[in-house]
């Protein structure tokens, strides 16, 4: 095999490894909330310890306190940081799209979203005045 064919083959594997469908597969599972903050303020511990998120394919369902959020998401793992775009059909942002970033480190899934209509966050922070929400989830064992 000549070196150009080998390079093309390797490049094909690298692109396939970062395919959004593969990334969605990695995100599948049930998660418990570790922490959450909005506009620089942490969510109360009693809500954090009961919150759950289920990711299945391109759909998500989250229960946080008395709020249930249902919707779909698209991911782009090739961006830095990786991008996530959520469109909710139920919950406080039903019918709206939110732009975010995410990272997956072992069994920990962290995302940071902007409010609908706002620009995608550039880093994982929620300083006052941004309206950003950052949540850290831990995948539950099967």
pLDDT tens per residue across span 15-57? 434 577 889 999 999 999 999 998 888 999 999 999 999 999 9
* Separation in Å, CA 11 to CA 4, 15, 16, 30, 77: 10, 6, 9, 33, 16
Choosing among 2.40.128, 2.30.130, 3.40.1000, 2.60.120, the CATH entry for 3-139 is 2.40.128
Domain extents in the chain:
3-139
**What tokens were used for 40?**
């620089």
Taking 70 as the threshold, does the pLDDT of residue 13 lie above it? Answer: no
Cα torsion 57, 26, 74, 101: sign: positive
pTM of this structure: 0.84
């Amino acid at each position: 095999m000549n070196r150009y064919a080998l390079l093309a083959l390797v490049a094909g594997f690298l692109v396939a490894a970062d395919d959004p469908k593969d990334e969605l597969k990695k995100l599948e599972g049930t998660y418990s909330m570790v922490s959450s903050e909005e506009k620089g303020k942490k969510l109360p511990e009693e809500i954090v310890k009961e919150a759950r998120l289920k990711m299945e394919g391109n759909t998500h369902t989250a229960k946080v306190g008395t709020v249930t959020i249902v919707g779909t998401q698209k991911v782009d793992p090739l961006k830095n940081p990786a991008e996530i775009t959520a469109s909710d059909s139920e919950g406080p942002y039903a019918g709206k799209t939110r732009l975010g970033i995410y990272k997956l480190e072992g069994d920990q899934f962290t995302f940071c979203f902007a409010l609908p209509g706002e620009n995608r966050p550039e880093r994982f922070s929620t300083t006052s005045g941004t309206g950003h929400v950052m949540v850290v989830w831990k995948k539950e064992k099967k």
